[in-house]
Structure 1
Amino acid sequence: MRPPRPVVVRQERHKVQLVVARIGRAHGIKGEVTVEVRTDEPELRLGPGAVLATEPAGAGPLTIETGRVHSGRLLLRFEGVRDRTAAEALRNTLLIAEVDPAELPEDPEEFYDHQLMDLDVVLADGTAIGRITEITHLPSQDLFIVERPDGSEVMIPFVEEIVTEIDLAEQRAVITPPPGLIDASQAVIASARDEEGDDGAPAAGKDA
């Protein structure tokens, strides 16, 4: 159930831009670079022919010419980058893919970060805990950063044992937290979606 690695950079009307990799050291003398992969779909996002925006923007766009795995690391070569000096100049550049917001991962148990952001987090009985405001990717697991109604935050590991359901239609994540993860006695029903009036206007006391 762990989500793919891309992180949302910004969302526009018809596209979402996701960070899919960070360029590391130059490899060899012919323009190859190592990359830190931040997507669970590298074959799709980082294959030959892919055109990627960059951060900083002045480094790109970059078109992937070749890719290969060497000693467990993905190596890429970009069109126009032919020597070690040019490759080293790209170090720490973020590679950004443009994705249709309606696009879903191939695995139905996986989700892009932008699909999970702002979901209501509730217990199995419907008691609301808060809303996802950030997703943190750690080497061992991924975490939901959930803002509670009182403004405090709680970290929820995104693992099947705790996050039992992701319902995009209902815009909620159902959790079964172990003792001590959250203070369930302070949880309140605080979903702004449930509190909106029939006309869609924000509920009283909520920011517009």
Structure 2
Amino acid sequence: MPSTVEVVVGVVGRPHGLRGEIAIDLRTDEPERRFAAGQVVRSEDGRMSLTVESARDHSGRLLVTFTELPDRSAVEAVRGMRLVVDVDSAETPSDTAEFYDRQLVGLRVLDAAGTDVGHVGAVIHLPAQDTLEVVTDGGSRLVPFVLDLVPDVDLEGGFVRLADVPGLLADEDE
């Protein structure tokens, strides 16, 4: 039996209208897959399972209705709830240039010369771009996860390589 990992796919946002539609704050690059009609997501604490009844794009936001949340007041009661699904641990994104957070967290971080400088502690999703939290002996540093700064991700080798950019991991007061 394949092993699975729990992945956060969204956060319940504001209700939209009176019939139970919810704006979902996405945490997945595959909303059409994770929020397809009939899919089941659950609360992160495991207390509630929700069946997707419908999903649609509305002005750049994903609006979802769940069978178990029939109206606005039911949605208000779960606002802020993190939604998770179990995925096969071997599953990878269809685009080879994309990565799941779980694939990156824990990888060694090498500088341009190949020196081990730390590890990826977290992936932070910001409006402009994703950012890697690089944990070093001197603390944590944030590095934008863009090709110019992180040109090499080697999952099999267990590392990401940073570009040769002066001050990328330096303290602000250095």
Q: Normalising by the residue count of structure 1, what TM-score does the alignment of the two structures yield?
A: 0.76
The reply to whether residue 49 of structure 1 matches residue 45 of structure 2 is: no
Determine which of 26, 33, 36 is the counterpart of 2:25.
36
Alpha-carbon distance in structure 2 between the residues aligned to 1:146 and 1:29: 44
Say whether 1:128 aligns with 2:127: no
Q: Which amino acid aligns with 1:45?
A: R
The secondary structure found in structure 1 opposite 2:151 is strand
Gaps of 5+ in 2: none
* Alignment equivalent of 1:152, drawn from 135, 139, 145: 139
Structure 1: runs of 5 or more not aligned: 1-12, 184-208
Q: 2:103 aligns with which of 91, 115, 125?
A: 115
State how 1:1-208 maps to structure 2 within 5 Å. Answer: 14-58=3-47, 60-148=48-136, 150-183=137-170
**Are the counterparts in 2 of residues 131 and 146 from structure 1 also a CA contact under 8 Å?**
yes
The answer on whether the counterparts of 1:56 and 1:93 sit within 8 Å (CA) in structure 2 is: no
CA distance in 1, matches of 2:126, 2:78: 24
Amino acid at match of 1:152: G
Amino acid at match of 2:26: V
Question: What is the CA-CA distance between 1:151 and the residue it aligns to?
Answer: 4.6
Give the aligned CA root-mean-square deviation in angstroms: 1.5
Contact 2:112 2:164 in 1 (8 A): no
Partners of 1:56 and 1:167 lie apart in 2 by: 33
Output the CA distance in 2 between the equivalents of 1:73 and 1:132.
30
TM-score by length of 2: 0.90
| Cα deviation code 1:72-119 (max 9, x no counterpart) | 221111113222211222211111011111000011000001110111
Q: How many residues align?
A: 169
The letter of the residue matching 1:108 is: T
Following TM superposition, the consecutive aligned residue runs of length 4 or more in structure 1 with deviations greater than 3 angstroms are: none
In structure 2, distance between residues paired with 1:143 and 1:108: 19
- Aligned-partner Cα distance in 1 for 2:107–2:18: 47
Name the SS for the 2:131 alignment partner.
strand
CA offset digits 1:132-170 (Å, max 9, x no partner): 11111111122111122x352222211000101110111
Larger-gyration structure (1/2): 1
SS in 2 for 1:57: coil
More strand by share: 2
Question: Within 2, Cα distance between the matches of 1:145 and 1:25?
Answer: 29
How far does residue 56 in structure 1 lie from its aligned partner after superposition? 4.0
